[in-house]
Amino acid sequence: MPRTPRMKVSDLANPNRFLRLSRWMIPLFAVAALALLAYGFYLGFQAPPERDQGYMFRIMFVHVPSAWLALGVYTMMACAALGTLVWRHPLSDVAQKAAAPLGAAFALICLVTGSIWGYPTWGTFWEWDGRLTSMLVLFLIYLGIIALWRAFDEPLQAAKAVAILTLVGFINIPIVKFSVDWWSGLHQKASVFRLDGPTMHPVYLHPLLICALGFSFLFGAMLMLAMRTEIARRRVRTLTLFAAREAS
Amino acid sequence: MAHLHTTFIALAYGFAGFVLCVMLAWIALDSRAQRNKLADLEARRAKK
């Protein structure tokens, strides 16, 4: 009896298989993102006003998931950078290039919504405290990575340079995470990811986690679409070079 | 005070929505442009 070939996890990283899988995963992720965000915002807006901040806590449902994603996307890019440098995986640098503008967008949303939240809460839009400054540095690193991609004509050369910069920049991720513990400033300390468990009341925590999951699915859908575009761009480049070689 | 809070909350959500919509539009337009280019190049190769 013929045996069905078993699929390995590494097979998913095959570019052609990725193109086939992502075709149906993108709409699935997009629908999941919309449903989770709608439910998360609904629950969040039903929650009672917070003791100190009144209704200003509602900004948390966009600010905090954006901050988590800005850090998470960079961590994913650092793993992809290892994939590029160590295993020379064909999809690693595609994923890195596609993820950088998305990470920058989430870092920007985090910075701006944090400023908007900070003004009525702290009395200022900006303060050079550890968390705010390290998040700004993360946003600038994202911009540096995007600029470096554009500085090279050859994608493989760019991938190596970007991978090195990404790994060097990874030093900033624990600084962002632990800045509120290392330095005192205006930003509050961690209230969700703590060794002794979350200190946030479930009435705010549950919608926050649902929104974070929704934003993650949205990121997943956008990343897969951007990766498909990058694969198409590289095929266009290869075919253009072939055409130019044939013509000469 | 509540009115002021609503303004700040609307500003934060509006900005986040705007950035995400710009990103989505940029990715979708870029995707369509690359697919068109690829289809055009493949059609030209098939003709030869």
- Whether the Cβ atoms of residue B23 and residue A101 lie closer than 8 Å to each other: yes
- Mean pLDDT computed over A87-102: 91
Q: What is the pTM of this model?
A: 0.91
Ranges of each domain in chain B = 19-48
In a domain, A15, yes or no: no
Closest-CA distance of chain B to residue A119, Å: 9
- DSSP-assigned beta bridge partners for residue A50: A54
Q: Which of A58-62, A175-179, A188-192 has the lowest mean pLDDT?
A: A188-192
Better pLDDT: A73 or B44:
A73
Q: Which two tokens stand for residue A236?
A: 């266009």
Beta-carbon contacts below 8 Å between A and B:
81
Nearest CA in chain B to A53: B5
How many Å is the Cα radius of gyration of chain B? 21
Query: Nearest CA to CA, how far is B24 from chain A (Å)?
Result: 7
Q: Touching check for A243 and chain B: CB below 8 Å?
A: yes
Residue A145 falls inside a structural domain: yes
Q: Is residue A146 part of a domain?
A: yes
Nearest residue on chain B to A98, alpha-carbon basis: B27
Output the pLDDT for position A8.
Answer: 56
State the smallest CA–CA distance between residue A114 and chain B in angstroms. 8
User: Considering only CB atoms, which chain A residues are within 8 Å of B16?
Assistant: 62, 66, 109, 113
Render pLDDT for A38-57 as a digit per residue (tens, 0 to 9). Answer: 999 999 999 998 888 888 99
Q: What is the pLDDT of residue A2?
A: 53
> In chain A, what residues touch B20 (CB-CB under 8 Å)?
105, 109, 218
Q: Which domain holds residue A66?
A: 25-46+57-185+200-242
A156 pLDDT band, cuts 50/70/90, is confident
Torsion from C-alpha of A10, A12, A18, A24, nearest 10 degrees:
-170
Model confidence at A14, in pLDDT bands (50, 70, 90)? confident
Considering only residues A148 and A197, tell me which one the structure prediction assigns the higher pLDDT. A148
Tokens of A71: 């850090």
Q: Which residues of A touch B41 (CB under 8 A)?
A: 236, 239-240, 243
Classified as helix, coil or strand, A90 is coil
Count of domains observed in chain A: 1
Residue A19: inside a domain: no
- Whether A143 and A104 have beta carbons less than 8 Å apart is answered as yes
Residues A53-89 pLDDT 10s: 888 999 999 999 999 999 999 999 999 999 999 988 8
Q: Is residue A107 part of a domain?
A: yes
Residue where the block lists tokens 């050369």? A157
pLDDT in tens, B2-40: 677 889 999 999 999 999 999 999 999 999 999 999 999
- Evaluate whether residue A115 is within a structural domain: yes
Range among A50-54, A182-186, A228-232 rated most confident: A228-232
Over pLDDT 90: what percentage of chain A?
66
- Flag whether residue A232 sits within 8 Å of chain B, measured between CB atoms: yes
Listed in order, strand segments (DSSP E) in chain A are none
Best mutation target, B6, B19, B21, B40, to test chain A (most A CBs within 10 A): B19
Q: Which residues of B touch A108 (CB under 8 A)?
A: 19
Is B40 at the interface with chain A, CB within 8 A?
no
